[in-house]
């Protein structure tokens, strides 16, 4: 997630589809050509997608009809699963409920901009929810020094607690890292990386950071930012990362790929990111899809 809560407010009733909503000044992008293979979206926010489409208010759950429509649109282009992230206390139940759809899995945590007021009772509840078989990761958690909603010291303390939780439940850690590269890497070294794996959501570092992450065994997930004209350093990072340590994501409804920046993102747009990686790695999109799918199986066990 790239924005703190309160953005992308919307209103309305649950009405189904993703692509046909938001018409007018900011219509959803057209569907890309289907992939030569199948892959999954490693990070999206169904509730925020529904709110941005004007079908619910931010903080309200995406309805079953909306979720089904999003997954049908995605499947039509070769995106067969999504990892839906509930990263505020009020989103945990909704994220878990979304896994009633057979192609939706969940990750749960507290975003670094939302850690103020977290209690031991919250952590006990989170630990219990993380044991659900459809919850496959702890995230997104980490550090965000771009927004000033929470103090860095508090963020760091709660990041350490999430690392501990990842180890406790034996599920991979999904990291949000914005303007905080050095501290994120330092804390991971100090605490020790969870054995189940570390995933850098919407990786935003350069090639040097990518090499350090690769050496540590971390997995780097690339979003639509990979396709932006002003992101050559990110493409260099992708180029030096082994394909076996790469994932793709939308962070929907945020980070929509070029040439649709600013328009609502959704899992059906993952092919743009896959093709960007295919170009950087000089391998076919079918190889990219197969390798990423195998990495997902290894990390999430689905």
Please give the average per-residue pLDDT across 122-132, as a whole number.
98
The answer to whether residue 196 is domain-embedded is yes
- What is the Cα–Cα distance from 218 to 105, expressed in whole angstroms? 21
Q: Which of 202, 276, 218 is nearest to 210 (CA)?
A: 218
Q: For residue 13, what pLDDT band results from cuts at 50, 70 and 90?
A: very low
101: number of Cβ within 10 Å: 18
- Residue 76's Cβ-side half-sphere holds a number of Cα atoms within 13 Å equal to 14
112 assigned to some structural domain: yes
User: Would the pLDDT of 294 be above 80?
Assistant: yes
Q: How far, in Å, CA of 176 to CA of 142, rounded?
A: 5
Does residue 54 sit within a domain? yes
Is residue 11 in some structural domain?
no
Mean pLDDT along residues 80-104? 97
Find the farthest-apart pair of alpha carbons in the chain and give their distance in angstroms, rounded.
50
pLDDT, mean of residues 153-179? 98
Average pLDDT of the chain is 92
- End-to-end Cα spacing for the chain: 23
pLDDT value, residue 20: 40
DSSP label of 103:
T
CA 167, CA 196: separation in Å to the nearest integer?
7
Tell me the Cα Rg of the chain.
Answer: 18
| Distance (Å, whole) CA 178 – CA 170 | 25
Q: What is the CATH number of the domain that holds 167?
A: 3.20.20.140
pLDDT digits (tens, 9 = 90+) for 15-55: 334 444 444 578 999 999 999 999 999 999 999 999 999 99
Arithmetic mean of pLDDT, 280-300: 98
- For 16-20, 160-164, 253-257, which range has the lowest pLDDT when averaged over its residues? 16-20
Residue 6 has pLDDT above 50, yes or no: no
Where in the sequence is the domain holding 198, given as residue range(s)?
39-300
Cα 239 from Cα 236, distance rounded (Å) = 5
DSSP 211-235: HHHHHHT-EEEE-GGGG-TT-HHHH
Residue 13, in any domain of the structure? no
At 2 the pLDDT is 63
Residue at 4 is within a domain: no
Domains: count for the chain? 1
Q: Which residue has the higher pLDDT, 212 or 24?
A: 212
- Tell which residue, 82, 91, 134, 131, has the closest CA to residue 109: 91
For residue 239, being part of any structural domain is answered with yes
With beta carbons less than 8 A apart as the criterion, state whether 245 and 39 touch: no
3-state secondary structure of 94: helix
Q: Worst-scoring range by mean pLDDT, 17-21, 151-155, 242-246, 247-251?
A: 17-21
Burial class (CB in 10 A: 0-12, 13-18, 19+), 166: buried
Percent of the chain at pLDDT > 90 equals 89
**Any domain includes 202:** yes
What is the structure's pLDDT at 1?
73
């Amino acid at each position: 997630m790239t924005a703190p809560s309160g953005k992308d407010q919307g209103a309305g009733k649950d009405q189904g589809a993703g692509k046909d909503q938001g018409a007018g000044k900011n219509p959803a992008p057209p569907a890309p050509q289907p992939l030569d293979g199948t892959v999954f979206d490693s990070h999206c926010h169904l509730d925020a997608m529904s709110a941005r489409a004007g079908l619910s208010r931010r903080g309200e759950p995406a309805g079953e009809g909306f979720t089904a429509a999003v997954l049908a649109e995605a499947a039509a282009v070769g995106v067969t699963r999504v990892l839906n992230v509930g990263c505020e206390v009020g989103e945990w139940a909704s994220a878990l409920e979304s896994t009633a759809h057979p192609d939706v899995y969940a990750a749960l945590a507290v975003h670094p901009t939302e850690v103020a007021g977290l209690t031991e009772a919250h952590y006990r509840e989170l630990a219990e929810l993380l044991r659900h078989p459809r919850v496959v990761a702890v995230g997104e958690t980490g550090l965000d020094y771009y927004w000033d909603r929470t103090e860095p010291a508090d963020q760091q303390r709660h990041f350490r607690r999430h690392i501990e939780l990842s180890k406790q439940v034996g599920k991979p850690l999904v990291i949000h890292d914005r303007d905080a590269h050095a501290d994120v890497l330092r804390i991971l070294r100090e605490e020790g990386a969870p054995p189940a794996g570390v995933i850098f959501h919407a990786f935003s570092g350069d090639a040097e950071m990518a090499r350090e992450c690769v050496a540590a065994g971390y997995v780097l997930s690339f979003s639509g930012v990979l396709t932006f004209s002003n992101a050559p350093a990110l493409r260099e990072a992708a180029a030096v990362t082994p394909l076996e340590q790469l994932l793709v994501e939308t962070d929907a409804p945020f980070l929509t790929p070029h040439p649709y920046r600013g328009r609502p993102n959704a899992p059906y747009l993952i092919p743009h990111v896959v093709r960007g990686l295919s170009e950087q790695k000089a391998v076919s999109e079918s190889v990219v899809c197969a390798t990423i799918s195998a990495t997902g199986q290894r990390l999430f066990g689905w």
